[in-house]
Structure 1
Amino acid sequence: MNTVKRLGAALLLLGASSSIAMAQGAACGGDFSAFIQGVRSEAIGRGLSEAGVDRALASVRQDPKVLQRDRAQGVFQQAWLQFQGRMVNKNRLANGKQRMQQYASVFREVEAQTGVPAAVITSFWGLETDYGAVLGDFDTLNALATLSHDCRRPDLFRPHLMGAIALVDRGYLRPSEMRGAWAGELGQTQMLPEDYLAFGTDADGNGRINLLTDVPDVLMTTGKFIQHLGWQRGQPWLEEVRLPADFPFDRAALVSKEPRSNFAALGVTKADGTPLERDNVPASIVLPQGRGGPAFLAFPNFDVYLTWNNSLVYALTAGYFGTRLAGAPAVHEGNPQPGLDGDQMKQLQQRLVARGYDVGKVDGILGANTRAAIRQEQIRLGMPADGWPTRQLLSAL
């Protein structure tokens, strides 16, 4: 489920680690066999054993399918209601709740150590691999070697290639076991090798950190990783709310947090109509499909979901899934206005660029920069500034 965006987050979070620091300016391209010899020398130079490095690299080869996936990768283009409806289904909810009961004692220990609730960990576990059922079938060492050799982003992938070699050298995994996502993620919550090394925990005490099959190791490691991303113990992450008819939509922006009491004063209530807490907990209003669709309060802990994967559609689905596992009812879908298709979104982005906005790549994707530009144009045009691209807005531009 992860994209290369998560790799960028990991690079930022672990930027001070020795492997990443040493990989800056890494050589790439040229003869692949010569490249692998350079990787071997570097790994041994970092203190890994010759035997371990040779075990890891013995059968490494280029995988053209990895490069195809890398070049074709995209972010989530489905509307949020469509995507969450597919991902947060009855079976996944039921299976998640069953696993929360099955591993209740492990989850209690994880929360005691990290502050991360069972529902939050389970939401990632379910979405990433369907609780370990779908781990991915790309050879991890081949994938990371291929991406490191490719000269598009060697500094991004080479640290994780070194991490994957270290996993073999330390005896955590055998090369034949290392199969996962095309970008090198491994295990039941799709951890990158550097994260595996940094946060991997032998929670079941069997002497081996195994995130492929040992569920206690998976849960504790994931909890520690989420804690590292900034999780605040005992604080909320996401809550569905109801907006009043006269809500000022220019106050609905994920990047703009204000005390929850401010929204209560504006007439925002919980989804069932009961009052919001009038406290100073920072919060943002999130409208994934504009003013006619669902509305949420996102709290600082929701930023962890965005760091895990900075697609709002994915992050909001994972956060919402966590609330459902914690007992929240199904979302009120509302009646959102139809959005734009991919070609129309590109037209909208082109018109926004012509007006001086930086929307990033004109790709037909509703990303954060495009949403921000839409809101500014809606304000200029006297439209409700909900950040949702509509045919009316496209025509007005």
Structure 2
Amino acid sequence: MPKPIAFALTVALLLLLPGCATQSVAAGDAQVAPASDSPGQPSFADWLADFRDEARSRGISQATLEAAFAGIDAPIERVVELDRSQPEFTLTFWNYFNRAVSDQRVATGQQLYREHRALLERVEAEYGVPGRFLIAFWGLETNYGQTFGNFSVIHALATLAYDQRRGDFFRNELIAALEILEAGHIEPVRMEGSWAGAMGNLQFMPTTFRAHAVDADGDGRSDIWGSLPDVFASAGHFLQNLGWNSGETWGREVRLPRDFDHSLSSIDTYPETRLPLSEWARRGVRAADGGPLPQAEVQAALLLPAGYDGPAFLVYDNYRRFLDWNRSILYALAVGVLADRVAGGPPLAAEPSAVEQRLTSEEVTEIQTHLARLGFDVGEPDGRVGPQTRGAIRDYQQSRGFPADALADPTLLTRLRAEG
């Protein structure tokens, strides 16, 4: 998505494993006001009255407001808890991947791909996005429509807009959600989604829906909850608007030579090191089955999501479109691999790790503290493995003669502890 939209979906998705139901409560449960971040914060009733005035000034009718806010008289405490929660552990590639691209999800995706082939081909002809990718996004977002989440979108967004931590962002999403109701795309009782307001089969945020949703079945509504023509066309339209390149795929798993320079792998969310396929081939990179790379002058970046002894991927420009949808490296790789599997491609050639070596946030903070003490720039230790921390890890690895894969794992922590 353009950056604000990308952030919107990241809010809804990054904190959750794809295919796992959004933690939810019924619309009337746990309506306890969250603690105010500001001593001068108005009551929820006063805030809501002010917001309704703004909504009316933006063209929302009284009838829509009454229907949308019926029974809403306090924020949802659970929504605030989820918004402020931090993951206890870092998420490893295999921990994420084995759930995101499970055998069951692949098999279901293949069945649905066959079942809806004619519809998917029509959408591809219109928007240039092959159907296997639309199926993959559908599978990762809601497990093929099984897990929309059952929060009232209006109630969840009102809670987050009132909470003030990101009030302006969610206030804008709430206005967009009301505009969707005003236009008659969905009834308030059916407008359910995640705790962060992501909606329907695609988990679109309201502003994303407003900008990209399509009425493909011609009934006058863009129904991403119940109409698969609308669902697939909206996904294809969205990816097209993001800049999808219909002449390329997303990337591929590859095999690296033993003496490979792992510092060539990218560590930023959006890959920072891109070389032509011919240059990667010159450096000894092969297809996952040992064959040659395609002879095409495509710019590609190398990703090592599980470190130098895990799977390796060369990713192309369309991979960046996955990141525009959800700014998560693991999510983007899962979309690509699931799409290939749905279309009959083989499983990954790399063998899954036998042991899950996850780090707690406290252990990540300890790694950052050790690196800072040794003179490597991690910024402020915060328990999160971002690009700056990965860069510091790579610098440390290079200085000690280790493979420079920038991976934060228990082996790294053990080495740093040994250095005192």
Q: TM-score, normalised by structure 2?
A: 0.84
Pairwise CA distance, 1:37 = 1.4
Q: Cα distance 1:361–1:142, how it changes in 2: closer, same or farther (>3 A)? A: farther
Give the SS at the match of 1:301: helix
- Partner of residue 137, structure 2: 124
- Partner of residue 321, structure 1: 338
Which AA in structure 2 matches 1:33?
Answer: A
Matched, 1:30 2:42: yes
Give the alignment of 1:30-109 within 5 angstroms. Answer: 30-61=42-73, 62-74=75-87, 77-109=90-122
Give the alignment of 1:143-158 within 5 angstroms. Answer: 143-158=156-171
Which AA in structure 2 matches 1:150?
Answer: D
Q: Cα distance 1:95–1:198, how it changes in 2: closer, same or farther (>3 A)? A: same
Pairwise CA distance, 1:137 = 1.1
Pairwise CA distance, 1:264 = 0.5
Quick one: distance in 2 between partners of 1:349 and 1:153? 27
Give the alignment of 1:214-225 within 5 angstroms. Answer: 214-225=227-238
- Partner of residue 16, structure 1: none
Q: Cα distance 1:77–1:393, how it changes in 2: closer, same or farther (>3 A)? A: closer
Matched, 1:304 2:318: no
Contact 1:338 1:390 in 2 (8 A): no
Give the alignment of 1:1-397 within 5 angstroms. Answer: 6-8=6-8, 29-61=41-73, 62-74=75-87, 77-253=90-266, 254-334=271-351, 339=357, 341-342=359-360, 343-354=362-373, 355-358=375-378, 362-363=382-383, 365-394=384-413, 395-396=415-416
Quick one: distance in 2 between partners of 1:244 and 1:321? 26
Give the SS at the match of 1:171: coil
Quick one: distance in 1 between partners of 2:194 and 2:366? 33
Q: For residues 273-321 of structure 1, what are the alpha-carbon distances to aligned partners after superposition, in whole Å with 9 as ceiling and x for unaligned?
A: 1111243211111111111111111111111222222222222222221
Contact 2:300 2:316 in 1 (8 A): yes
- Partner of residue 23, structure 1: none
Which AA in structure 1 matches 2:333?
Answer: L
Contact 2:91 2:358 in 1 (8 A): no
Pairwise CA distance, 1:346 = 2.1
Contact 1:184 1:192 in 2 (8 A): yes
Quick one: distance in 2 between partners of 1:178 and 1:76? 32
Q: For residues 43-84 of structure 1, what are the alpha-carbon distances to aligned partners after superposition, in whole Å with 9 as ceiling and x for unaligned?
A: 121122232233222333411110011111449833112221
Q: Cα distance 1:224–1:8, how it changes in 2: closer, same or farther (>3 A)? A: same
Pairwise CA distance, 1:128 = 1.2
Which AA in structure 2 matches 1:362?
Answer: D
Which AA in structure 2 matches 1:318?
Answer: V
Q: Cα distance 1:380–1:167, how it changes in 2: closer, same or farther (>3 A)? A: same
User: Identity of paired residues, percent?
Assistant: 35
Q: For residues 19-52 of structure 1, what are the alpha-carbon distances to aligned partners after superposition, in whole Å with 9 as ceiling and x for unaligned?
A: xxxxxxxxx9411111111211111211222322
Count of aligned positions:
377
Give the SS at the match of 1:210: coil
Which AA in structure 1 matches 2:197?
Answer: G
Pairwise CA distance, 1:361 = 5.6
Which AA in structure 2 matches 1:142?
Answer: H
Quick one: distance in 2 between partners of 1:10 and 1:221? 18
Q: Extract unaligned runs of 5+ from structure 1.
A: 12-27
CA RMSD of aligned residues (A): 2.4
Could you tell which deviates more after superposition, 320-329 or 189-198?
320-329
- Partner of residue 15, structure 1: none
Contact 1:286 1:296 in 2 (8 A): yes
Contact 2:7 2:326 in 1 (8 A): no
- Partner of residue 26, structure 2: none
**Higher relative CO (CA 8 A, sep ≥ 6), structure 1 or 2?**
2
Contact 1:136 1:179 in 2 (8 A): yes
Contact 1:201 1:217 in 2 (8 A): yes
Could you tell which deviates more after superposition, 366-375 or 246-255?
366-375
- Partner of residue 22, structure 2: none
Give the SS at the match of 1:351: helix
Contact 2:90 2:359 in 1 (8 A): no
Pairwise CA distance, 1:6 = 4.5
Quick one: distance in 1 between partners of 2:392 and 2:214? 43
- Partner of residue 34, structure 2: none
Q: TM-score, normalised by structure 1?
A: 0.88
Quick one: distance in 2 between partners of 1:371 and 1:5? 26
Pairwise CA distance, 1:353 = 3.8
Quick one: distance in 1 between partners of 2:140 and 2:207? 21
